Structure 1
Amino acid sequence: MSAPELRFDPVSPDYFANPYEIYQRMRDEAPIYYDEELDFYALTRHADVAAALKDHEAFSSSRGCDLAMVRRPEGPPKSIIFMDPPEHRHMRSLLNKAFTPRAIQSQRETIVELVEHYLSQVDPDHFDVVQDFSGPFPVEVITRMAGVPEEFRQQCRHWIDKGLERAPGQIELSEEAMQANIDSGVYYYGLVQERRAQPQDDMISRLIAAEIPGDNGEMRRLDDVEIAGFAALLGGAGAETVTKLVGSAVVEFARHPEQWQMLLDDRSLLPAAVEELLRYVGPVQYNVRWTLKEAHVPSGTIPAGKPVFLLQAAANRDPRAFDDGEKFDITRDRTQAQNLGLGYGIHSCLGAALARLETSIALEHLLDFMPRYEVDADGLEKVHMQNVAGYHHVPVRVLR
């Protein structure tokens, strides 16, 4: 019996349920995949995806990061992830100041406090790892850094979730998703104006005071729309990544209890475990780029003027790059290939070190809280989102 036709549909129910089966076929059968109906390309092999992520002159970010955005002639809202150099370089150097190693380590106490707070609220006999724990705490960390008052921090998370949601078969934003993005933008815009009037010791106030080179080479200040966009982006990226990664971690360790036991026996393996989770079940599945000119990767050529899916999650399981790439192994040799879980090249994740720290602290506390546990497999519910994969619900019971 012949295999079914190879079709990559980023909003199909099958893709949302398990993208890794289609990734395997694409890597083997169509490393430069082309979709005639929607006129896009997709790269899945590690060498190709890594090359494209590094080649901003051919693979542009300026039209957006998902298919609907890239196809719109008016382009995306102004944001650092939708910029190419030199504009991107100026913004990146400005925002990097908020994520220095010292700045990240200064958040450790806050992260521990929040992790302990949310774990103390749950019922060990039945709780939802995502809804009760990994959803609420990361957004508190990043929005507190930005300067969002406490009463609005969880609302920011709900806007993010709704804005990324995609029903099966739906490439364009729904009205609800669009409204969530508008509400989020309006809120952050108002907050920027408040901070202009009354600066505080937070990221938004520092962005208001900062200057970057303008198009004419002269220094300029950021406007309210730019700052609101950055704040919304940081809130989204900072919340989604850790929320999904910790939820997926609990599921994977339930499927691989011997790996969980390794962590129970040796906590020094935690950083390696976080890296393997980012490789194996990283929350960011892909980014879409636009080819400004004919683009070349090891597997071949892509014409100019086309959307291209750079499928980082597929590349991270490529057996050409990682021995036994489909196996979850926290002790694997991490020098074999670049982990693309938090990006690569100029658009690698700004808050990568913060995400790693939060995930490591969360896992350390979960090891203490539930050294033995079981996941209610029937209650698992995956998200249906653009770019992002993970779970909406992970019901768990602690075993005594």
Structure 2
Amino acid sequence: MTKPKLKFSPVSQDYFDNPYEIYKRMREEAPIYYDEEEDFYALTRHEDVAAALKDTDAFSSSRGCDLGMVRSEEGPQKSIIFMDPPEHRHMRSLLNKAFTPRAIQSQRETVIEVVEHYLSKCDPDGFDVVQDFSGPFPVEVITRMAGVPEEFRQQVRHWIDTSLEREPGQIELSEKNMQANIDSGIYYYGLVQERRENPQDDMISRLIAAEIPGPDGAMRKLDDIEITGFCALLGGAGAETVTKLIGSAVVEFARHPEQWQLLLDDRSKVGDAVEELLRYVGPVQYNVRYTLKEAHLPSGTVPAHKPVFIMKAAANRDPRAYDRAEEFDITRDRTQSPHMGLGYGIHSCLGAALARLESVIALEHLLDFMPRYEVVWDGLHRVTMQNVAGYHNVPVRVLK
């Protein structure tokens, strides 16, 4: 029986249901995949993905991070993820100050408090890990840091989810997606105005006070649009990653109970478990770049002026980079290739340390709350989102 023709569509139901089977074929049959219909390229091997993410001269972020955005005439909003050097470097060095190791560790008590608050409301006889726990808590942490008042924190999460949702076959933004982006932008813009009038001890107020070098080298302050764009990005990244990772973690540990037992026996392995989850089921599947010139990679060449999917989740299961790449093993040797679960290169996740801290604390509390549990498999429901994978629903029961 001949295999069906290899087809990668970032918005197909097949892809939403199981991207990893598609990645396996792409790595073997078309490591530099070209889609004639939509005129884009896709990279899936670890060495190609790493090379592309390091080559900012050829692979530009300035046109956006998904196919619809890269192809649009107006281009993306002002945001650090849509910047190339040297502009990116100046903005990153400023924002790094908000995510120093000390700043992250200062959030530990907040994370524990929020995790315990949401877990205390979960019914052991049946609850949804994502809707009741991993959805609400991360956005609470990041929006507190930013300075969002309590009554708007969960609203931020709903705007993010709505803006990223895609129907099968939908590449361009829908009215619903655009409206969520507009509502979120208007809200943050108003909050920036409030903080200019009345500064607080929060990230928005510090961004208002900060200065970065302008194009002419003179120091300048950030404008309201730049701060608004960063807040929207921060809310999205700070909410989506951990929400999806913890939901996927509960599913994978149910499929691999011996791995959960390793954590029950030895809590010191929780950090390693988070790293393996980021490699094996990391939420961020890809980013799209645009080639400014012909780009040369280990597997071949990508022409100039093309959208290119850089498939980090595919690279994370490349057997050329990892032994037993398709196996979930929290004890695996970490000295092999670095995983790309939180990005790679200059655009690696700004809040990576916070995401790790939240994930470790969440898993530690779940080990206490549900040392034995079962997933209600027919209630599992995957998200269909732009460049993010994971579950919308993970119903579980705690076993006595």
Tell me whether the two structures share a fold, i.e. TM-score over 0.5: yes
Aligned position for 2:269: 269
Using the TM superposition, give the Cα deviation of residue 164 of structure 1 relative to its aligned residue in structure 2, in angstroms. 0.4
- Is 1:21 the counterpart of 2:21? The answer is yes
Alignment of 1:224-235 (within 5 A): 224-235=224-235
Aligned position for 2:69: 69
Q: Secondary structure at the match of 1:288?
A: strand
Unaligned runs of 5+ in 1: none
Amino acid at match of 2:148: V
Alignment of 1:1-400 (within 5 A): 1-400=1-400
Measured against aligned partners, the alpha-carbon deviations of 1:149-169 in whole angstroms (never above 9, x if no partner) come to 000000000000000000000
- CA separation in 1, counterparts of 2:267 and 2:325? 24
The percent identity for this pair of structures is 83
Q: Secondary structure at the match of 2:396?
A: strand
Measured against aligned partners, the alpha-carbon deviations of 1:141-189 in whole angstroms (never above 9, x if no partner) come to 0000000000000000000000000000000111111100000000000
Amino acid at match of 2:94: L
Q: Secondary structure at the match of 1:320?
A: coil
Q: Secondary structure at the match of 1:397?
A: strand
- CA separation in 2, counterparts of 1:223 and 1:321? 43
Measured against aligned partners, the alpha-carbon deviations of 1:198-234 in whole angstroms (never above 9, x if no partner) come to 0000000000000011111111111111101101100
Q: Which moved more, 1:259-268 or 1:69-78?
A: 69-78
- CA separation in 2, counterparts of 1:394 and 1:258? 20
Measured against aligned partners, the alpha-carbon deviations of 1:3-53 in whole angstroms (never above 9, x if no partner) come to 000000000001000000000000000000000000000000000001101
Q: Secondary structure at the match of 1:177?
A: helix
- CA separation in 1, counterparts of 2:3 and 2:362? 42
Amino acid at match of 2:236: G
Measured against aligned partners, the alpha-carbon deviations of 1:259-296 in whole angstroms (never above 9, x if no partner) come to 00000000000110000000000000000000000001
- CA separation in 1, counterparts of 2:377 and 2:282? 20
- CA separation in 1, counterparts of 2:37 and 2:107? 47
Amino acid at match of 1:38: E
- CA separation in 1, counterparts of 2:16 and 2:213? 42
Using the TM superposition, give the Cα deviation of residue 237 of structure 1 relative to its aligned residue in structure 2, in angstroms. 0.2
Q: Secondary structure at the match of 1:275?
A: helix
- CA separation in 2, counterparts of 1:232 and 1:313? 24
Runs of 4+ that moved beyond 4 A: none
Using the TM superposition, give the Cα deviation of residue 330 of structure 1 relative to its aligned residue in structure 2, in angstroms. 0.2
- Superposed CA RMSD in Å reads 0.4
- CA separation in 1, counterparts of 2:53 and 2:59? 7
Measured against aligned partners, the alpha-carbon deviations of 1:224-255 in whole angstroms (never above 9, x if no partner) come to 11101101100110000000000000000000
Amino acid at match of 2:10: P
Q: Give the TM-score normalised by the residue count of structure 2.
A: 1.00
Q: Secondary structure at the match of 2:41?
A: strand
Using the TM superposition, give the Cα deviation of residue 58 of structure 1 relative to its aligned residue in structure 2, in angstroms. 0.6
- CA separation in 2, counterparts of 1:173 and 1:124? 39
Amino acid at match of 1:24: K
* Count of matched residue pairs: 400
Measured against aligned partners, the alpha-carbon deviations of 1:115-140 in whole angstroms (never above 9, x if no partner) come to 00000001100000000000000000
Measured against aligned partners, the alpha-carbon deviations of 1:285-334 in whole angstroms (never above 9, x if no partner) come to 00000000000110000000000000000000000000010000000011
Q: Which moved more, 1:334-343 or 1:133-142?
A: 334-343
Q: Secondary structure at the match of 2:179?
A: helix
Q: Give the TM-score normalised by the residue count of structure 1.
A: 1.00
Amino acid at match of 1:136: P
Amino acid at match of 2:244: K
Using the TM superposition, give the Cα deviation of residue 73 of structure 1 relative to its aligned residue in structure 2, in angstroms. 2.2
Amino acid at match of 2:29: E
Q: Secondary structure at the match of 1:9?
A: coil
Amino acid at match of 1:376: V
